[in-house]
Amino acid sequence: MRRRDFPIFTQRPGAKPLTYLDTAATAQKPDAVIRAMEHFLSHENAPVHRALYPIGERATARFEGVRAQVSAFLGGKDPGEIVFTRNATEGFNLVAQAWGRAHVRKGDEILVSIMEHHANFVPWLMLAKEKGAKLVVVNMTRDGLLDLRDLQGKLSSRTKAVALVHASNVLGIVNPIAEVAQLLERHTLRLRAKEAPLFVVDAAQSAPHMPIDVKRLGCDILSFSGHKLYGPTGVGVLWGRRELLEAMPPFLTGGQMIREVTLQHAIWNEVPQKFEAGSPDVAGVIGLGSAINYLSRIGWRRIVAHERKLMAEALRRFTAPQIRRYVRVYGPKRAAQRSSVIAFMVAGVHPHDVATLLAEEGIAIRAGHHCAMPLHQRLGVAATARMSFGLYNDEEDLERFFAALTKRVLPLAIQETP
C-alpha cells in the first residue's frame, strides 16, 4: 500500500527482500516520522514548559500541539485528558497504582479477560494481591470471542474495575467495548451504586488499525503505545476522563509534576502534568504526532479496507487442504471480526523453529507466548507462531509467506505427523 514510504524495506536480508509480518510487536517507521524527529533534534531541541528562549518556546508549542492532536485522534475534546507515558504498559501501571491503591480494598474484585496482554493483567494481579482483593477472569467462547454472558455473570457489587483488551494480540478478535460499557452501566443502575466500576481498555493493537472514539467506546481509561502506531519507541498515551485524572494521586514524583515544594509539603501540578514527572521524551512525542499525521493523510477507510483484504486472503490460504491438515489457526474465522493478527500452530514443529525457518527466507514473524501466558495456557499450548500486518504489507508478502511455509515448514510437519 505505502511500502515506498518506509526506508527499512530498501534492505535485503541476504539475497531476499524483507517480508515484515511482525507489526503487532512493533511497526516500521515511515520516512515522515524519521524526518520529523531528526528536524526537531537538529533545529528545535530544548526543554519544554520551562525555557523562555525561542527554541524552547517552539519545542513547548510543538509538544503541546501533539497533545491536542492525540486528543482529536481519540475523539476527545480536552487535551488535558492526554497523559504522555513511555508505553501502554506504563499507562496501566499508572492507573493500577494511582487509582487502584486509593480505591481498591480487601474483598473487592477486579475483572480481566483471559485474553489480556500481561501489561493489562499483571498490574491488576499485583494490586489484588497487595490489597487482598480478588482477580476474576472472564472466559472466552469456543470461537475465541469474549464471553459476554460470563462477564455479566461475574459482575457483582464487589466489582471495582474491569480491564479489557480492545483487540487481542493473539486471537486477533476485536472485542465489543461499547457493548461492555453498556453492560457496566446497566449493572450500576441495577445495584443503585454511587459509581460504576472503572473501565480500563487496552488499545495497543486497535489504535494502529482502526479509528478510536473514546466517547463512543464508553471507557474511563484507554492506553496505547506509539511504536505500534508507526511512531517511535519510548512514548505512549494514557487517556482518562478529566474528573478521574484530577481525583487520582500521582504515580511518580519529581520535576515537572510539582507546583510547589517546601520542607514540609508538596503541591501537585494540574493534569496532565501531574502524571508526567521528569523530562519527557519530546522527540518521541514529535514523532508520534508525525505518525498520526501520516495515518490521517492516508485515511482510516483505506487503511481498514486494505488490512481487511489482506486478512481475508490470509485466512483463505490457511484453509487450503495441504495447509489446513497441518496448521491450526486460532481466533475468529471471519476477517471482519479480526484486527491484523493471526496466531497459528504447525503440527509437530515448534513455533520457534517455524519462525527460524521463515527468517531464513527473509520473512519476519513472531514466536512465543506473546506476553499472554494465561491465554496460551487456556489454549493448551506453550507458544504460537504469529503473523501480523501493517499498512505497508501487500499480497506479495502473503505469497512469500505461504510459499516459504509450504517449502520449509510443512515438510517437517508431514515428517512428524503420523
CA atoms 51, 56, 61, 64: torsion sign: negative
Strands 109-113 and 134-138: parallel
Cβ-contact 19, 281 below 8 angstroms: no
Cα angle for residues 377, 86, 291 (degrees, 5° grid): 100
Rounded CA separation 24/206 (Å): 10
- C-alpha cell of residue 305: 479496507
CA atoms 116, 114, 152, 210: torsion sign: positive
Rounded CA separation 108/102 (Å): 13
Rounded CA separation 294/273 (Å): 27
Q: Residues 277, 359, 371, 381: which is the catalytic one?
A: 371
Rounded CA separation 341/170 (Å): 7
Rounded CA separation 149/138 (Å): 9
Annotated catalytic residue 371: yes
Cβ-contact 393, 20 below 8 angstroms: yes
Q: Cα Rg for the chain, rounded, in angstroms? A: 22
Strands 198-202 and 159-165: parallel
Long-range CB contacts for residues 155-158, cutoff 8 Å, separation at least 24: 155/111, 155/183, 155/184, 155/187, 155/197, 156/109, 157/191, 157/193, 158/107, 158/108, 158/109, 158/134
Please name the residues in contact with 249: beta carbons below 8 A apart, sequence gap of 6 or more. 98, 101, 102
Total length of the chain: 418
Cβ-contact 25, 366 below 8 angstroms: yes
Cβ-contact 47, 57 below 8 angstroms: no
User: Buried b / exposed e across 397-412, counting CB within 10 Å, b at 16+?
Assistant: bbebbbebbeebbbeb
Q: Which residues are designated catalytic? A: 371
